[in-house]
Structure 1
């Protein structure tokens, strides 16, 4: 969902003195640190608990980091690229920051929720803003049974791994694994195999965002598999359940002429 963040219709007007309500978060690079110093000297730097908006300086990893830290608060985050790819970031510019924030469009994203079960029956839960991926741990290919909404869809996938991505994450690891790019408002989750061996021609699936996905690890002692939700890794899993966590809202802000939906469309025509 994309909408004007601080318009009259949504009841979330910015305070008049926005410069005192901006919190800055920078990556641990010299470029990001210099940018933060320059910006805070002009606009101030509010404590997170007092801020109306967070400005993240870095790359996409920085955006994911601050969103993870703010899970459950639905704090709007406006990123400016001081990293490499910066797909989730706006163009860096020091001037007119307050005006850019006031004009920004908000995109709401729901993360995935991973529940990974280990051999002792312990369940590990973690959110994923980009994707949940399963990866083989040794030279042996993984064997994985796939269920969707408790119905078996693939009795055995032999592969290096498999992932389920959010629309926002569909241009990250999912795209590198030749998965489809999904527009933000499509309510779809791409499921993409990683180096599938059998069935050789299976390229994955597009699932409704309401789907509940289960991966069961076959021959697990011989073919161990790790499950990763963004940067939370659980090794030697036996079963992984994935669904969209509709209780959590993540709000990302984008300049009107360069919103996330537009970037996703444009990326599909990049050669």
Structure 2
């Protein structure tokens, strides 16, 4: 392998996009209204498109002749490096919105910063992905505000979503060993600087949505290092079934 740390760094972001994209894809045909059904499906496709770019680069770094499909479909759960937030269940519409909001407030600033990476491929992937991330954060922010500052029921559901997911928010900006080394070598993102911007954005939107930002700083972690909740196994059972049952199958 050319660079194991770079491979792991790329894999983290590929897996975030794939698993969250798969989760959002579960809403296809089940959205509360047609327009938002289509919006969530399109965001899912954006994320899976981003995952493809990451996996293609990961396959090149690995240098074993594997394809993006091999990496996505032929690893077991402990080989995945996505944050725990991405694999959490959809719940109701409010929970899906808040999960997406927590991810978007990270990804938008992450891609913006990574465009300055010393690695030209990372910078190129980020430049393309950032354009999509700008739409994603606008969409999820608007819905947090509409639901939080809407009816009594929508406000209560958003509060419930905050209580359910807040403890998963911090893993995105808490660097692991891979991210520390990536920053030291000049191709990674400074997550401490990103965290400041993200926290400010979260507070701005939640205040407008008449939602309280929890004081707790506790965060579940381990996803970046392959320690996952039971939910990931069920996602992979659906995602990987065809390639596991019929290896090498092509349309």
Shared fold (TM-score, shorter chain, > 0.5): no
Q: TM-score scaled to structure 2, two decimals?
A: 0.29
Q: Which has the greater radius of gyration?
A: 1
Per chain length, whose mean CA-contact separation is higher, i.e. which structure has more relative contact order (CA < 8 Å, sep 6+)?
2
Hey, which of these two has a bigger chunk of strand by percent?
A: 1
